[in-house]
Amino acid sequence: MLRFFVSPQDISEKSIKLGSENVAHILVLRLRPSELFVVCDGESTDYICRLGERGSEAAEIIEARPTRGEPELACRVYIALAKGGRLEYAVQKSVELGAREITVFPSERCVAVPGDMLKKTVRLKRIALEAAKQCGRGRVPDVTSAGSFACAIEQASKAELPLFCYEDEGTRRLKDALDSSGRDIETVSIVTGPEGGFVPLEADTARSAGMLTVSLGPRILRCETAPVAAIAALMFYTGNL
């Protein structure tokens, strides 16, 4: 069924106010009043709804149930800025795999120029919303930007399991870090680098902040592949995939 998101304040006991943007989308999709669709409150509850009259913002609630597509693990992903569609791809797939929040940040070897970060994050938020609709998420992951590498590391280091994916880490694999942490962790952060990878000083900064540098294997992954691989492994390991 088609999926839409609304604010919890728009939900009453028997009906939901869809809002003009959702209504416009419904009109484009040509849904009939008899057709059922899903409205999510962004807090992991799905409402099976029936459309009212054509053009109406009201939808009748048929049933309420917990969202099946929302992982229990809270994973925040920090993705270094990348050129072209690479960053957009990484954000989209991170949402599909279950990231709770996504933060983009500048790094020493970033090829992409930060530019207008407000405009960039607005576009990434839209991509996150569409991905959340498509894959059946119970919330729309927030997309933010960190003004510096140091700021991103300061935030990421606060997770129970703070992981810094570093291609020159020769000892600790991602699986080693997961094995040592146990399966009952609730918050994880994953930091991945830009096209040119992290410089040694950045890895040292991450370690000093308490992050665990981990290897994603013997092959060098592209900047848009690394976060996808790390989240997929994490979700599989913790039973969320």
pLDDT at 22 over 80: yes
Question: How high does pLDDT run on average in the chain?
Answer: 92
Token couple for 241? 């995939």
**pLDDT tens digits along 113-148:** 777 788 899 999 999 999 999 999 999 999 999 999
CATH of 3-66, one of 3.40.50.720, 3.40.50.11900, 2.60.40.10, 2.40.240.20: 2.40.240.20
* Residues found in the chain: 241
Q: Which two tokens stand for residue 183?
A: 């399966």
- Domain 74-237 sits in CATH at 3.40.1280.10
Phi/psi for 86 (5° steps) reads -65, -45
> What's phi and psi for 155, nearest 5 deg?
-70, -45
Question: Percent of the chain, pLDDT > 70?
Answer: 98
Q: Which amino acid, residue 229?
A: A
Q: What is the pLDDT of residue 28?
A: 86
Nearest-angstrom CA–CA distance, 161 and 153: 13
Domain ranges in the chain?
Answer: 3-66, 74-237
Per-residue pLDDT reduced to its tens digit, 26-81: 888 888 877 899 999 999 999 999 887 766 788 899 999 999 889 999 999 999 99
Cβ atoms < 10 Å from Cβ of 225: 17
How many CB atoms sit inside 10 A of residue 65's CB?
10
The DSSP secondary structure of the chain, one letter per residue, reads --EEE--GGGB-SSEEE--HHHHHHHHHHT--TT-EEEEE-SSSEEEEEEE-STT-SEEEEEEEEE-SS--SSEEEEEEE--STTHHHHHHHHHHHHT-SEEEEE--TT--S----HHHHHHHHHHHHHHHHHHHT-SS--EEEE-SSHHHHHHHHTTSSEEEEE-TT--S-BHHHHHHHH-S---EEEEEE--TT---HHHHHHHHHTTPEEEB--SSPPPTTTHHHHHHHHHHHHTT--
Whole-prediction pTM: 0.89
